[in-house]
């Protein structure tokens, strides 16, 4: 099964909690604090594996969790950091944040890595909170929560040469002849439902990857047929072989078919027409093919594509295959590797969208009259507070007071005895 679009949830590991501990050696009076820090939580990292060709591994597993860091230890020892969780993806995978649709990475090279969810740092032990006023603090931090993010993975097949054309023009047959690939071949439209890949190896030791692109018909860029389901895979090919059926068996005009396919490419992405393109006249073993090819050449001579090379072939008899493959290899030698065909002229202006700073917290009132304090920063402080230690709780109270939470509660009408909640922690408001 070919799967080229998935959504996954990545949950990075939480940092280990810091420790409250004191030196207790026999001959060390007033030894002081000795609680170590927690270890770092594990990251979620995507890594390119050139042995993969689809995203099928994500068919049944959509949630990935990294390990948490270890707690801090006595004698100021830091807990062990968690190992990162690596997820293998095929080359050609683009990664986007589901919530913002921002492009996080474009993974094209074997071994390339990107962190999509960063693990939390370890909480500090009480060794960090000693001061002249408080030489023996019973304060430690919990580990920082890891990032949780939902990302979408989209595969765009990486191939040197792409075979394009209407259904049943002979793309799969040609691929099966010039490579060891075994695509499904049938005398009906949409035999090919997924991109097929194969490797061509020439006598001069040059080699390149070829992909058979399915689903191109008139209106594909608007969703007709297989729609744009596989048009995106053509974006990663460097040279296009445009196959045109010259047999006339289906009473189709070869030149009209040629124009329709190029029109669909232009509507999807105009830069696709800038790529080197060879016209492959297929099924030349049929009776009317030679006459249809001459008519095709006459019509082509009146268009902008008049200089495009034409290669008559017959996959059945292997006629004309060697010159075609040699020319494709020559074009690849002259064509830059990915990324391709970026606009040569830099944009004269760039639009920056202003985003207002998010407040540290918000204060609302629920149906039961409880004041609810919410916000990324205040919730993060709460999660990193050790609720088992009174000194840590007092420190948390000072921190949120310094953020202005007390003043905001008063402005919203909070009085002595009113309940205030931050996540699952509820306390009374005291003036």
Q: DSSP labels for 95-143?
A: EEETTT--EEEEE-STT-EEEEEPPPPPPPPGGGS--SS-SS----BPP
What is the per-residue pLDDT across 364-381, written as a single tens digit (0 to 9) for each?
Answer: 988 888 999 999 889 999
| pLDDT at residue 209, rounded to an integer | 84
Judged against a pLDDT cut of 60, whether residue 349 lies above it is answered with no
Closest residue by Cα to residue 388 from 139, 144, 120: 139
Give the pLDDT mean for 349-373.
Answer: 74
What is the per-residue pLDDT across 408-431, written as a single tens digit (0 to 9) for each?
Answer: 999 988 888 889 999 989 988 887
| Pairing mode, strands 419-422 and 371-374 | parallel
Backbone angles phi, psi at 46, to 5 degrees: -90, 135
| pLDDT at residue 268, rounded to an integer | 79
Give the pLDDT mean for 36-65.
Answer: 90
Confidence bin at 384 (pLDDT 50/70/90): very high
| pLDDT at residue 273, rounded to an integer | 83
Which of 26-40, 67-81, 223-237 is least confident? 223-237
Contact in structure between 241 and 280 (CB atoms under 8 Å): yes
What residues contact 255, with CB distance under 8 A and at least 6 apart? Answer: 295, 296, 299, 300
What phi-psi label fits residue 282: left (phi over 0), alpha (psi between -120 and 50 degrees) or beta?
beta
Closest residue by Cα to residue 246 from 236, 232, 258: 258
Closest residue by Cα to residue 22 from 130, 163, 171: 130
Confidence bin at 35 (pLDDT 50/70/90): very high
| pLDDT at residue 278, rounded to an integer | 92
What is the Cα–Cα distance from 305 to 411, expressed in whole angstroms? Answer: 72
What is the per-residue pLDDT across 331-348, written as a single tens digit (0 to 9) for each?
Answer: 988 887 655 444 434 334
| pLDDT at residue 181, rounded to an integer | 58
DSSP per residue over 252-275, as a string? --HHHHHHHHHHHHHHH-GGGGGS
pTM of the model: 0.70
Structure token pair of residue 311? 């290669």
DSSP per residue over 339-386, as a string? S----SSPPS-------PPPPS-EEEE-TTS-EEEE-HHHHHHHHTB-
Judged against a pLDDT cut of 90, whether residue 275 lies above it is answered with no
What is the Cα–Cα distance from 251 to 229, expressed in whole angstroms? Answer: 27
Q: Among positive and negative, which fits the CA dihedral 191, 195, 199, 202? A: positive
Q: How many CB atoms lie within 10 A of CB 15?
A: 32
Contact in structure between 371 and 130 (CB atoms under 8 Å): no
Q: Which helix (H) or strand (E) holds 56?
A: none
Contact in structure between 140 and 35 (CB atoms under 8 Å): yes
Which of 3-7, 221-225, 407-411 is least confident? 221-225
| pLDDT at residue 254, rounded to an integer | 87
Alpha carbons within 13 A on the beta-carbon side of 317: 10
Judged against a pLDDT cut of 80, whether residue 232 lies above it is answered with no
Backbone angles phi, psi at 365, to 5 degrees: -125, 125
């Amino acid at each position: 099964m070919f799967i080229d679009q998935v959504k996954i949830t990545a949950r990075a590991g939480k940092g280990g909690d810091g420790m409250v501990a004191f030196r207790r050696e026999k001959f060390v009076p007033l030894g002081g604090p000795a609680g170590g820090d927690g270890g770092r939580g594990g990251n979620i990292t995507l890594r390119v594996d050139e042995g993969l060709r689809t995203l099928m591994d994500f068919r049944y597993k959509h949630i990935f969790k990294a390990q948490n860091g270890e707690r801090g230890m006595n004698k100021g020892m830091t807990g062990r950091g968690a190992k990162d969780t690596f997820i293998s993806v095929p080359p050609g995978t683009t990664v986007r944040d589901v919530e913002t649709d921002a492009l996080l990475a474009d993974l094209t090279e074997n071994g390339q890595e990107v962190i999509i969810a960063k693990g939390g740092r370890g909480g500090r032990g009480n060794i960090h909170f000693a001061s002249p006023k408080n030489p023996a603090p019973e304060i430690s931090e919990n580990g920082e929560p890891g990032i949780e993010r939902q990302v979408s993975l989209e595969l765009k097949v990486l191939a040197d040469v792409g075979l394009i054309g209407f259904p049943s023009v002979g793309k799969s047959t040609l691929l099966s002849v010039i490579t060891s690939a075994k695509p499904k071949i049938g005398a009906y439209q949409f035999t090919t439902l997924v991109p097929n890949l194969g490797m061509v190896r020439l006598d001069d030791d040059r080699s390149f990857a070829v992909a058979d692109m399915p689903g191109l018909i008139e209106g594909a860029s608007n969703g007709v047929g297989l729609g744009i389901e596989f048009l995106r895979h053509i974006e990663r090919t460097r040279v296009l072989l445009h196959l045109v059926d010259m047999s006339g068996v289906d009473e189709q005009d070869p030149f009209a078919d040629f124009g329709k396919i190029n029109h669909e490419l232009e509507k999807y992405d105009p830069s696709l027409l800038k790529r080197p393109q060879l016209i492959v006249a297929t099924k030349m073993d049929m009776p009317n093919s030679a006459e249809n090819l001459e008519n095709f050449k006459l019509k082509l001579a009146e268009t902008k594509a008049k200089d495009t090379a034409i290669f008559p072939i017959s996959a059945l008899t292997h006629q004309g295959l060697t010159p075609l493959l040699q020319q494709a290899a020559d074009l690849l030698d002259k064509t830059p590797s990915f990324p391709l065909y970026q606009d040569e002229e830099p944009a004269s202006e760039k639009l920056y969208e202003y985003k207002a700073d998010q407040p540290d917290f918000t204060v609302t009132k629920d149906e039961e009259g409880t004041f609810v304090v919410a916000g990324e920063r205040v919730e993060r402080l709460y999660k990193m507070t050790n609720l088992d230690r009174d000194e840590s709780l007092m420190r948390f109270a000072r921190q949120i007071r310094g953020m202005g939470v007390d003043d905001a509660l008063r402005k919203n009408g909070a009085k002595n005895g009113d309940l205030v909640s931050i996540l699952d922690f509820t306390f009374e408001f005291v003036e």
